[in-house]
Structure 1
Amino acid sequence: MSVIVVTGTGTEVGKTVVTAAVAAAARAQGRSVAVVKPAQTGVGAGEAGDVDEVMRLAGDVEGVELARFPEPLAPATAALRVGMEPVRPEQVVEAVEKLAGAHDLVIVEGAGGLLVRFDDDGATLADVARLLGAPVLVVVPAGLGTLNTTALTAEALRARELEQLGVVIGSWPAEPDLAARCNLADLPEAAGGPLLGAVPQGVGALAPTEFRARAASWLAPRLGGSWNADAFGAAVR
């Protein structure tokens, strides 16, 4: 894979930390990596955004942010409220294709979920994935309620004939409850795709060197790691 699109089943599910982990695992394999954030919302000028966090955690990666809107809203609404031009899927594709010519892997991290609107035409991250012909990695919560939102996201991907790479749990709790433990078995069925990792809760606070050293242990081989779903499930039951 030369391009991966990362989305979530909603906001605050761990997309940025998962993106950083995938980038770190790729760098550990000697691959050059770029990360693209089409639209950063809820961050003011001069403040660190998601791309900055990925670069801090993952290390030597190139980061590109195409648009920034200060209010924590969907990109289309955030752009409209401040009178700025929204980001368009074609702009994202142009940036990604340029980066793909110089890097082994380009990761596109969306804002919110798959169908959050980018512009007043109703374009979404799904349109970006379609234009790129890139697989989509879905970041999901661990606990109660995740099966429904995971299944809905998977259904939206299938309806658009987009490839789902799999799902990663974006914040695995230190003491998982019954729902979280059961979801390890149920998530692949809800997603219609494999479970490709479980990133421990709070790892974004690790020192960057420790984060990079451990990242591969949270991700399955498909994402450059060593994590095994069956072994992980057996260990937490």
Structure 2
Amino acid sequence: MPVLVITGTGTEVGKTVVTAAVATAALAAGRSVAVLKPAQTGVGPSERGDADEVARLAGPVTTAELARYPEPLAPGTAARRAGMAPVRPGDVAEAAAKLATEHDLVLVEGAGGLLVRFDAVGGTLADAAQLLGAPVLVVAPAGLGTLNSTELTARELRARGVELAGVVIGSWPESPDLASRCNVTDLPVVSDAPLLGAIPSGVGGVDPGAFRAAARGWVAPRLDGVWDAEAFRAGVAS
């Protein structure tokens, strides 16, 4: 799995922290890691972006951005309003493929959900994943409403012939409600893909050393971690 594309079911679902956890686990397994953020929106030229945040939490990863737009909008809209060139799926695929020649794992973190538009002709992260032939990891919220958006994302990937690697819960609450507890069982069913992790809420704000020490316990062995879905499910149900 030299390239893994990471998308969300929407915005603010925990993609960057999940990307950092996957990067941390891969580094701990002795793999070299690059993180590609195709389009960073809503930050200024000197501000830290999502790839920088992954590096802060995970440690020594190569980071790359293809474009940065000042307004916190969909990349295509942000590019148009800024009068800047958009990122296109082919650009993303080319950059990721180049990084893959120099690293064991390349993590491509999208903006928002799978079909957020990069450009005026409708290019998306899904198109980039198709060009790369890369699997996609879906980050989903824990609570009510997540099943519909997760299933729609999974269906779109399968319609395009793109492999769905699995689902990670991007922010697992300290005191989960009934919907969240039930969704641990239901998310793999509606996505027809394994649950590959659950990231505790708020860990993006902890000390990087503490993050790195704990991250392997939040993601499954397929992502170089030690998290056990069955044990987690049993603990939630008890």
State the alpha-carbon separation in 2 of the partners of residues 219 and 36 from structure 1: 20
In the alignment, the residues of structure 1 paired with residue 92 and residue 217 of structure 2 have an alpha-carbon distance, to the nearest angstrom, of 31
The aligned counterpart of 2:212 is: 212
Partner of 1:32: 32
**Cα deviations across residues 171-199 of structure 1 (Å, max 9, x unaligned)?**
00000000000000000011110000000
Mapping of residues 65-80 of structure 1, within 5 Å: 65-80=65-80
Q: Secondary structure at the match of 1:186?
A: helix
RMSD of equivalent CA atoms: 0.6
Name the CA distance, whole Å, in 2 between partners of 1:33 and 1:27: 7
Question: How many residue pairs end up in the alignment?
Answer: 237
- Which runs of structure 2 are paired with 1:149-164 in the superposition (5 Å)? 149-164=149-164
Distance 1:75 1:59 in 2: 27
SS at match of 1:117: coil
What are the residue-to-residue correspondences of 1:91-102 with 2, within 5 Å?
A: 91-102=91-102
Report whether the alignment pairs 1:2 with 2:2. Answer: yes
Q: Which residue of 1 aligns with 2:224?
A: 224
The residue number in structure 1 matching 2:106 is 106
Q: CA deviation at 1:121?
A: 1.1
Instruction: Establish whether residue 85 from structure 1 lines up as the match of residue 82 from structure 2.
Output: no
Unaligned runs of 5+ in 2: none
The one-letter code matched in structure 2 to 1:151 is E
Match of residue 64 from structure 1: 64
Distance in 2, Cα, partners of 1:49 & 1:167:
24
Distance 1:93 1:75 in 2: 16
Give the CA deviation at 1:118: 0.3
Pairwise CA distance, 1:97: 1.2
| Pairing 1:169–2:169 present | yes
Q: Deviations over 1:129-150 (max 9, x none)?
A: 0000000000000000000000
TM-score normalised according to structure 1 size:
0.99
Alpha-carbon distance between aligned partners in 1 of 2:78 and 2:35, rounded to the nearest angstrom: 22
> Is 1:20 paired with 2:23?
no
The reply to whether residue 234 of structure 1 matches residue 234 of structure 2 is yes
Query: What residue in structure 2 maps to residue 141 of structure 1?
Result: 141
Deviations 1:107-136 (A, max 9, x none): 000000000000011000000000000000
Q: Aligned partner of 2:120: which letter?
A: D
Secondary structure of the 1:21 match is: helix
Task: Give the Cα separation in 1 of the matches to 2:22 and 2:35.
Answer: 10
Structure 1 unmatched runs, 5+: none
Show the counterpart of 2:50. Answer: 50
Q: Secondary structure at the match of 2:95?
A: helix
Task: Name segments (4+ residues, structure 1) moved above 6 Å.
Answer: none
**CA shift at 1:233, angstroms?**
1.1
Structure 2: distance between partners of 1:210 and 1:231: 23
TM-score by length of 2: 0.99
Q: Which residue of 2 aligns with 1:115?
A: 115
SS at match of 2:13: coil
